[in-house]
């Protein structure tokens, strides 16, 4: 009896050692996507009044956990029964990311050249509520695509391992992706509150006041930077999906051009195509409703 228990424990220890080792490898391979995920979601979780930042972030985080609960079993089943379908799903997800990135660029250019009108809309609290709903929905949808990419890349590192190691390793990476990314986002969006806390507890200490003001002044710059980085990340991830999963596009890449530049240009082109198609569909639907 005792020897049997020790044998089981030994097997579990060996299994967990393999999982830890493979999780490290898979996390390294998904590091680029995790960085993009951080930039995109940090940008989406900001822009609200201070009291609403953490509730909005928590709503997005819960959505991210739900995404993982949907993606993990589906990817495990598809990788076994219909591996070719995973590539199709990835490409469709890439089109969505490219569309969102290019749409943001287009809106920015239009806002710079268009005439700005004074807002005379509904009550401010209502506007915030609608803004929260839209941003949470957009963030959770984007998280779904990025999570799918992370899970599939992680799966690719353990395809030659046993089913137990595959499930445990990919699940660990998915958990790290959610907790790590949204934990860092929470720290970023609360920088100004940390700065105010330092100032309130400084008791006239010039260094603490200076550091506190530094955090407060740094936050708007980080938010603006994350807005730019997040948009670029969307286009880059989309372009990477196209280049690595569509053979024709992969062969089009010139030898003299850096891979990142080609992926960015591919993402922009894919986003423009998606924007045109979606705009045409929306126009047709509006005309049919009339």
- Note the pLDDT tens digit of each residue in 186-229: 888 778 888 888 898 888 888 889 988 998 888 778 877 877 88
12 pLDDT tier (thresholds 50, 70, 90): very low
Angle at 66 between CA 65 and CA 71, to 5 degrees: 100
Q: Is residue 45 pLDDT above 80, yes or no?
A: no
Q: What's the pTM?
A: 0.69
Q: Is residue 63 pLDDT above 60, yes or no?
A: yes
Q: How far apart are CA 250 and CA 258, in angstroms?
A: 13
Q: Could you give the number of structural domains in the chain?
A: 1
Least confident of 70-79, 153-162, 227-236: 153-162
- Taking alpha carbons only, the member of 179, 155, 144, 142 closest to residue 75 is 155
Q: Determine the 3-state secondary structure of 255 from DSSP.
A: coil
What 268-271 contacts at long range (C-beta under 8 Å, 24+ apart), as own/partner pairs, is 268/98, 268/101, 268/102, 268/235, 268/239, 270/94, 270/95, 270/98, 270/238, 270/239, 270/242, 271/98, 271/99, 271/100, 271/101, 271/102, 271/103, 271/235, 271/238
Task: Give me the domain span that covers residue 65.
Answer: 2-289
Q: How far apart are CA 90 and CA 177, in angstroms?
A: 18
* Confidence (pLDDT) at 153: 74
263 pLDDT tier (thresholds 50, 70, 90): very high
Inter-residue contact 173 to 27 (CB < 8 Å): yes
* Confidence (pLDDT) at 24: 61
Distances (CA, A) of 82 to 61, 164, 174: 29, 20, 21
Instruction: Pick the more confident residue, 202 or 49.
Output: 202
* Confidence (pLDDT) at 276: 94
* Confidence (pLDDT) at 44: 66
Q: What is the mean pLDDT of the chain?
A: 77
- Mean pLDDT confidence for 248-263: 89
* Confidence (pLDDT) at 130: 64
Q: How far apart are CA 121 and CA 247, in angstroms?
A: 49
> E-strand spans in 146-205?
none
What the block records as the tokens of 33 is 């996507």
Tokens 């003001």 correspond to: 213
* Confidence (pLDDT) at 50: 64
* Confidence (pLDDT) at 37: 66
- Mean pLDDT confidence for 104-110: 87
């Amino acid at each position: 009896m005792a020897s049997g228990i020790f044998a089981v424990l030994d097997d579990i220890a060996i299994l967990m050692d393999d999982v830890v080792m493979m999780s490290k490898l898979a996390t390294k391979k998904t590091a680029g996507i995790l960085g993009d995920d951080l930039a995109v979601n940090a940008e989406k979780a900001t822009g609200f009044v201070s009291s609403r930042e953490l509730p909005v972030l928590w709503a997005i985080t819960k959505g991210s956990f739900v995404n993982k609960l949907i993606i993990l079993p589906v990817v495990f089943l598809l990788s076994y029964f219909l591996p070719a379908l995973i590539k199709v799903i990835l490409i469709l997800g890439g089109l969505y990311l490219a569309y969102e990135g290019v749409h943001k660029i287009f809106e920015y250019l239009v806002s710079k050249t268009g005439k700005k009108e004074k807002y005379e809309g509904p009550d401010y609290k209502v506007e915030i509520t609608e803004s929260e709903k839209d941003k949470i929905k957009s963030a959770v949808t984007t998280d779904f695509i990025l999570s799918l990419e992370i899970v599939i890349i992680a799966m690719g590192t353990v395809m030659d391992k046993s089913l137990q190691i595959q499930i445990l390793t990919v699940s660990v990476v998915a958990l790290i992706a959610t907790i790590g990314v949204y934990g860092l986002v929470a720290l970023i969006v609360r920088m100004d509150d940390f700065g105010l806390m330092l100032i309130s507890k400084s008791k006239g200490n010039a260094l603490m006041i200076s550091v506190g003001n530094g955090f407060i002044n740094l936050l708007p710059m980080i938010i603006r930077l994350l807005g730019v980085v997040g948009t670029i990340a969307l286009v880059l991830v989309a372009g990477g999906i196209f280049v690595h999963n569509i053979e024709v596009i992969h062969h089009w890449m010139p030898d003299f051009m850096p891979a990142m530049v080609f992926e960015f240009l591919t993402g922009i082109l894919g986003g423009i195509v998606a924007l045109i198609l979606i705009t045409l569909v929306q126009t047709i639907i509006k005309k049919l409703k009339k």
